Homo-oligomer: A and B are copies of this chain.
């Protein structure tokens, strides 16, 4: 189960302390530069789209099974599958962003919290119909 990078993030966050806990907390933009080999897969993306970006957090600790919310000592330890901690067995981050502009292979998005040079592994359109909780 080998992931390939479809592109890389250029962001203002160079080291872990720079990044917000969640991209939602900032208006910063980042650029996803797609590998030209995958440009055909981006056809149909439109300015203003809400997109899930799946990144491979290559600077995460994959051995961590429990963590504290926001890494703060006063919060209780919880299993990482019940948190959004970047440290987890498969360090795939899920972030809902807004597509701001497209310039060739460069997708400018608002709301990503990934560090500079983070590999991107997938992009998916958000859909109200399937991405909101079930009522049952």
Number of chain A residues whose Cβ lies closer than 8 Å to a Cβ of chain B: 59
Majority secondary structure of chain A interface residues (helix, strand, loop or mixed): mixed
Judged by a CB distance under 8 angstroms, whether A80 is at the interface is yes
Is the Cβ of A123 less than 8 Å from the Cβ of B81? yes
Check if A116 is an interface residue, CB within 8 A of chain B. no
* Chain B, residue nearest A135 (CB): B98
Task: For A132, list chain B residues within 8 Å (CB).
Answer: 96, 132
Select from chain B the residue with minimum beta-carbon distance to A24.
Answer: B130
Tell me if B94 and A94 are in contact (CB < 8 A): yes
Note all chain B residues with C-beta closer than 8 A to A127.
Answer: 84
Q: B131 and A58: CB pair below 8 A?
A: no
